[in-house]
Amino acid sequence: MTMAPLHMLAAAAGIARLWTDADGVEQQVSDDSLRAILAALDLPAEEPAEIMESWRRLMERAMRMPCLITVDCATPFSLPDGFDSAILLNEAGAVVERDTSRISSEGIAEPGYYQLVAGDETCTIAVAPERCRQLKGRCWGVAVQIPSLRGQGDFGDFADLARAVTSLGKAGANAVALSPVHALSIDDPGRFAPYSPSSRIALNALLGEAETSANATSDPLIDWTQAGPAKLEALRSNFDGAEDFATFLQHNARAGLDRVQQAARDAGMAVGLIADLAVGVDPAGMEAQNDPGLFLNALGIGAPPDPLGPLGQDWGLTSYSPFGLADSGFAPFIAMLRANIPTGGGIRIDHAFGLQRLWVVPRGRSARDGAYLTYPFDDLVRLVKLEAWRADAIVIAEDLGTRPLGFVDALEEAGIYGMAVLPFSRDEDGAFLPAEDYRETAVAMSATHDVATLAGWWTGRDLEWNRQLDRGGQTAEERAVDRKRLWAAIGDSLPQPADDDPAPVVDRAIAFLTQTPCPLLIVPMEDLAALVEQPNLPGTVDEHPNWRRRLPAPVDELLRREDVARRIALLNAERGA
């Protein structure tokens, strides 16, 4: 069957007309949605003449010499047109090879960035290592929400994190996983949503250290409308005027974050900080506004309709345009990785499916009117491998949900760890997997910031929130069945605890997860302390106190609590040094 011109154009632009939903049913994007998405990509397709012109422009783009190509180490590859007689320079500018036939037939032996030079023409070649760094043995770490840390100010900052990391390292932890520390809007310091950053290259200035007049508070919640401006004022009072204020804020934050990773190394952590890379940025933020040609200006990103979100999701974010990435030689993507990967540490890529495809939604339309937009997966994975190799860091991909075909295999081949989160680690019948069935290529977690804590799940606190906010979800009867399922997996034949007695459940869950073959187990501080409230409730803004909860005490005090010490002993017994 001959494909219609509109459908040919969409396919050439990387828009998937057909997609498979969470139930395995094939769905089809409407022609109206295809036209709206193409228009947002500056490829108008309302009339036949527009389709022809957009097609011509796409073909012209495909014929351009790329600014950068990615290849695997010691693997043959085809040279770009016009570079049959060229020299290869390394990052220091030294000649590595003059025989282009050897480059093409044998590849380039060492990872790094190289310049292929032929007369006045140059092309960057990014040579990726075979795999990312792999962990040796089995270890454990803690996930920390930085603002939740108790210290001298209204909320935790990098100085408080450094002290927490030191205490956790002495207790036996080898890693501390963070939510994103990307820049937020300085013009709106009362706003705090780490996954909706203004820039993923700059840092959140409010997390930089500054002496404040605030006193430690017993309030369990942060009032960002007061705390944010107060911290910004404290930072301004520390500003000496030797540089502009914005530069000072970034230098101050970067120095603070570097001190945290040094504290982790000094405490003997094998990994130290695991940073988090958000999937997108605020379309009104500094990064998208400073370089609009790089981003999907008229498209939002989100998720298609599924049983948990029948209308689909629009996250209110934008991300890089595949065309913008190619035109820029992937420079912003590389800069973003370098800004976020801690040396000797690790990075978690939020919604890592975005390396292969993103659900894009035309502005002003329902998420149901979206479609999957293809990204240069092989190129992006190679760049992740290369930048992680340069930083000697591990890489974790958030791969929860409906995975694209071949996605997991590709990441495993690249040495990128997936995630195995206890609530989601089940078989087709809903039974929780035994510990031995967890993937060796995944990082085990008791929970994430977006799901109920162990104690909150067991006591049904999340169900209370769902009822209060009319969010649907499990019924009390369904949760009762799930409690039995969980206890059957983790309970070690002991009597099932009462619904209002989560402490033994937390103990058994942690003990269970230590037995998985996963090389790293991450336990959120909220689970280590058996707290019932979760940091964030997806799909809410003000209805739930997202990113506002303080820990009940400073970390060093929490670690001395009998129940927390007991859980750390469980972790160290199986995963200690």
Report the 10 Å Cβ neighbour count for 221: 11
Q: What is the pLDDT of residue 100?
A: 87
Alpha-carbon separation of residue 260 from 166, 272, 321 (angstroms): 9, 9, 33
Alpha-carbon separation of residue 356 from 30, 43, 341, 448 (angstroms): 22, 21, 20, 23
Dihedral pair phi/psi, residue 496, rounded to 5°: -70, 130
Q: What is the pLDDT of residue 334?
A: 98
Strands in 371-374's sheet, in edge-to-edge order, are 15-16, 371-374, 357-362, 299-303, 313-317
User: Which tokens go with 92?
Assistant: 């220091």
Query: pTM for this one?
Result: 0.96
- Measuring CA to CA, which residue among 349, 391, 421 is closest to residue 133? 391
Alpha-carbon distance of 263 to 272, in angstroms, equals 9
Digit-by-digit pLDDT tens for the chain (577 residues) are 567 999 999 999 999 999 998 888 999 999 999 999 999 999 999 999 999 999 999 999 999 889 999 999 999 999 988 888 899 999 999 999 998 889 999 999 999 999 999 988 999 999 999 999 999 999 999 999 999 999 989 999 999 999 999 999 999 999 999 999 999 998 888 888 999 999 999 999 999 999 776 666 779 999 999 999 999 999 999 998 888 999 999 999 999 999 999 999 999 999 999 999 999 999 999 999 999 899 998 999 999 987 667 778 899 999 999 999 999 999 999 999 999 999 999 999 999 999 999 999 999 999 999 999 999 999 999 999 999 999 999 999 999 887 888 999 999 999 999 999 999 999 999 999 999 999 999 999 999 999 999 999 999 999 999 999 988 889 999 999 999 999 999 999 999 999 999 999 999 999 999 999 999 999 999 999 999 999 999 888 889 999 999 999 999 999 999 999 999 999 999 998 6
The residue behind tokens 């469980």 is 570
Alpha-carbon separation of residue 278 from 290, 333, 398, 575 (angstroms): 19, 12, 11, 29
User: Which tokens go with 533?
Assistant: 């409230």
Alpha-carbon distance of 195 to 281, in angstroms, equals 8
Q: Taking the domains of the chain in order of start, what are their residue ranges?
A: 5-63, 74-128, 139-575
* Per-position b or e across 116-155, b if 16+ CB within 10 A of its CB: bebeeeebbbbbbbebbbebeebbbbbbbbbbbbbbebbb
Q: Are 128 and 72 in contact (CB under 8 A)?
A: yes
Alpha-carbon distance of 424 to 411, in angstroms, equals 20
Dihedral pair phi/psi, residue 163, rounded to 5°: -65, -40
User: Which helix (H) or strand (E) covers residue 419, if one does?
Assistant: strand 418-421
Strands in 272-277's sheet, in edge-to-edge order, are 394-397, 346-349, 272-277, 175-178, 139-144, 520-524, 442-445, 418-421
- Measuring CA to CA, which residue among 337, 183, 228 is closest to residue 275? 337
- Measuring CA to CA, which residue among 218, 209, 205 is closest to residue 162? 209
Q: Where does 77-140 have alpha helices with state H?
A: 100-106
Dihedral pair phi/psi, residue 9, rounded to 5°: -65, -45
* SS3 labels along 440-473: CCEEEECCCCCCCCHHHHHHCHHHHHHHHHCCCC
Output DSSP code: residue 351.
Answer: T
Alpha-carbon separation of residue 171 from 136, 139, 282, 576 (angstroms): 20, 12, 38, 10
Alpha-carbon distance of 478 to 484, in angstroms, equals 10
Alpha-carbon distance of 319 to 298, in angstroms, equals 11
Q: What is the pLDDT of residue 137?
A: 92
Architecture of domain 139-575 in this structure: Alpha-Beta Barrel (3.20)
- Measuring CA to CA, which residue among 539, 518, 423 is closest to residue 474? 423
